[in-house]
Amino acid sequence: MTQQWSAPTADGPVHATVPVPGSKSITNRALVLAAIAAGPSTLNAPLRSRDTLLMAAALRSLGVGVEDGPDGSWSVTPAPLRGPVDVDCGLAGTVMRFLPPAAALAAGDVRFDGDEHARVRPMGTILDGLRGLGVDVEGDALPFTLRGKGGVPGGEVTIDASASSQFVSGLLLSGARYEGGVTVRHVGPPVPSLPHIEMTVATLRAAGVTVTVGENVWRVEPGPIAGRVWDVEPDLSNATPFLAAAAVTGGSVTIPGWPAETTQPGGAARDLFTRLGCEVVTDERGLTVRGPERLTGIDVDLRDESELTPTVVALAALADGPSRIRGVAHIRGHETDRIAALVAEVNRLGGAAAETADGLTIDPRPLRGGQWQAYADHRMATAGAIIGLVVPGVTVDDIASTGKTIPDFPGMWSAMLGAR
Between helices 166-173 and 194-206, what is the axis angle to 10°? 10
Q: Which of 373, 315, 317 is nearest to 5 (CA)?
A: 373
Q: What percent of the chain has pLDDT over 70?
A: 99
Average pLDDT over residues 299-319: 96
Neighbouring-strand partners of residue 44: 231
The response to whether 186 counts as a known ligand-binding position is no
pLDDT on residue 419? 62
Residue among 129, 146, 153 nearest 85 (CA): 146
Please, what is the average pLDDT of the chain?
A: 96
Give the pLDDT score at 1: 62
In total, the chain counts a number of residues equal to: 420
- The residues carrying an active-site annotation are 307
Angle at CA 330, nearest 5°, toward 324 and 335? Answer: 105
In angstroms, the CA 20 to CA 347 distance is 31
What is the Cα–Cα distance from 372 to 345, expressed in whole angstroms?
6
Looking at per-residue confidence, does 405 or 420 come out higher? 405
User: Over 70: is that where the pLDDT of 165 sits?
Assistant: yes
16-32 average pLDDT score: 97
Q: What is the pLDDT of residues 357-403, one digit of tens each?
A: 999 999 999 999 999 999 999 999 999 999 999 999 999 999 999 99
* End-to-end CA, the chain: 31
4 annotated to a ligand binding site: no
Report pLDDT digits (tens) over 252-308: 999 999 999 999 999 999 999 999 999 999 999 999 999 999 999 999 999 999 999
Domains of the chain with bracketed CATH:
5-21+234-418 (3.65.10.10), 24-220+227-231 (3.65.10.10)
- The reported pLDDT for the residue numbered 335 is 83
Residue 330 assigned to a binding site:
no
Q: Is 323 annotated as a binding residue?
A: no
CA distance 196 to 47: 17
pLDDT value of position 144: 98
